Structure 1
Amino acid sequence: MDVMPVTALRIDAVVFDMDGLLLDTESLAMRGLAQAATEMGLDAPEEFCHAMIGVPTDHCRILVAERFGPDFPADDFLAAASQQMGALIDAGSLQLKPGVPELLDHLDGVGMARAVATSSSRAKAHHHLRRTGILGRFDAVVTRDDVARGKPHPDLFLRAAQVLGRRPERCLALEDSYNGVRAAHAAGMQVIMVPDLLPPTTEVRETCLLIATDLHAVQPLISRPA
């Protein structure tokens, strides 16, 4: 993966996506969708499942209805997929993405404010962050329950900046999804993509400061707030 050269950033806060960026949940979500589809006798190819990455549940319902028809029980399907994913998490499959502890330690060292801005619900976000031991390492956790619109709208990132008391343009957003990059950019934040399951596109390359291999590559770019 190519990494564009970027000098130290002038920022006052970092806003993290959660799924696929902090936590290795996207692969578990894809497995949950595939297992739910198999149990219901459905054809759910990889591109269909990938289309739900970085998308809030309300829009996932639309994607399911578009594929399987307006009368299809979308909520039942998504609930079954969530249950399958939950079983994987309860079995100990949920892991932090590479570089998470080290980057959080670095932010502690330089005194940098940080928040999570996730399309997940508050209950799910707190459960997953707590289970991986990092819930208490953020100044704020902003979820889909806290805003009127999810990604790709900027609401989550704007709310995170507001809660942190920082201007959006002085915040760095870290994202792994296309909708997340779009949302952070629309909020006026500086954006770095750390791809998980989705490869960077031309749109993403033109929008982001950097396409990073992992969070280890982000750490040297962050110094003490000015």
Structure 2
Amino acid sequence: MILDIDPKAKGLIFDLDGTISDTMPIHYIAWRNAAAKHGIDFTVELFGQLAGIPLYPTVEKLNELFGTSIDPQQMGDEKEMEYENNMHQAVPIRPVVEIIKKYHGKIPMAVGTGGLKRLAKKSLELIGIDKYIDIIVAYEDVKNYKPHPETFLRCAELMGVEPQFCQVFEDGVLGIEAAKKAGMMVVDVKDFYDVTIGH
């Protein structure tokens, strides 16, 4: 099975973590370590459930689930510092990177991520993809994060492509839901590579 774009696509939107760059195992370990300091067992299942939710809202969600009152800023920043120290270990997700290189300069492309813009840029630089994609819509650019469609609709707007002609490449349940709500075509990239979180 070869990953390719839909013939109707006039603009491509990519999630970043777990879609362009295999950062999920690094995010997972950073979350697990940050949560452990607060007595929370951050399981692989929990990680899957929360994937796609931005940094500080993830801590708020943990507080809801575990009845804790952890400071989202403090724990979020601890987690992000550990992630940033290890993000150089991430490898590109080849089938997706090949699509980006193949259609670069032929069709508009954007990244729509729940991550912080600074780290999204750094992540793209580390795997050498920064020169292929100019448009990044990150956590700071939207009021409503995935599964709300705002991230992807903003990407479409910046690319100048109507939503129904945008194709989204995603690995997260919430992101796939957001793309569908935006009325876009969507591909679950997990079908094209092996997921190895927590193994």
Instruction: Specify the TM-score bucket, using the shorter chain as the normaliser.
Output: 0.7 to 0.9
Corresponding position of 1:198: none
Query: Once the two structures are superposed, what CA deviation does each residue of 1:52-110 show, in whole Å capped at 9, x if it has no partner?
Result: 21112243122111233242333322222222212212xx312111223321221037x
Corresponding position of 2:197: none
* TM-score normalized with structure 2 length: 0.87
Tell me which of 161, 166, 169 is aligned to 1:166.
161
Corresponding position of 1:68: 66
SS in 2 for 1:192: strand
Tell me which amino acid in the other structure corresponds to 1:100.
Answer: V
Identity rate of aligned residues, in percent?
27
Corresponding position of 1:100: 96
Corresponding position of 1:116: 111
Tell me which of 157, 171, 179 is aligned to 2:152.
157
Tell me which amino acid in the other structure corresponds to 2:167.
Answer: L
1:54, 1:71 → 2: CA distance?
22
2:33, 2:68 → 1: CA distance?
22
Query: Once the two structures are superposed, what CA deviation does each residue of 1:154-205 show, in whole Å capped at 9, x if it has no partner?
Result: 101111111000000001001000110011111110011112xxxxxxxxxx
2:117, 2:69 → 1: CA distance?
29
SS in 2 for 1:84: helix
Structure 2 unaligned residues grouped into runs of 5+: 194-199
Residue 81 of structure 1 pairs with residue 76 of structure 2: no
Relative to structure 1, is the Cα distance of residues 76 and 162 closer, same or farther in structure 2, using a 3 angstrom cutoff? same
Identify which range, 167-176 or 53-62, moves more after superposition: 53-62
Corresponding position of 2:23: 25
Corresponding position of 1:135: 130
Assess if the C-alpha contact under 8 Å between 1:21 and 1:194 holds in 2: yes
Assess if the C-alpha contact under 8 Å between 1:122 and 1:145 holds in 2: yes
* TM-score normalized with structure 1 length: 0.77
2:127, 2:82 → 1: CA distance?
19
2:137, 2:118 → 1: CA distance?
11
2:176, 2:5 → 1: CA distance?
20
1:81, 1:45 → 2: CA distance?
15
1:50 Cα shift?
2.3
Tell me which amino acid in the other structure corresponds to 2:69.
Answer: D
Tell me which of 130, 143, 147 is aligned to 2:142.
147
SS in 2 for 1:78: helix
1:39 Cα shift?
4.1
Number of residues paired by the alignment? Answer: 193
The equivalences for 1:169-208 within 5 A come to 169-195=164-190
Tell me which amino acid in the other structure corresponds to 1:153.
Answer: H
1:14 Cα shift?
0.7
1:14, 1:7 → 2: CA distance?
8
1:58, 1:42 → 2: CA distance?
16
**Computing the radius of gyration over CA atoms, which structure comes out larger, 1 or 2?**
1
1:128 Cα shift?
1.1
Assess if the C-alpha contact under 8 Å between 1:64 and 1:74 holds in 2: no
Structure 1 unaligned residues grouped into runs of 5+: 196-211, 215-226
1:41 Cα shift?
4.1
2:5, 2:110 → 1: CA distance?
23
SS in 1 for 2:161: coil
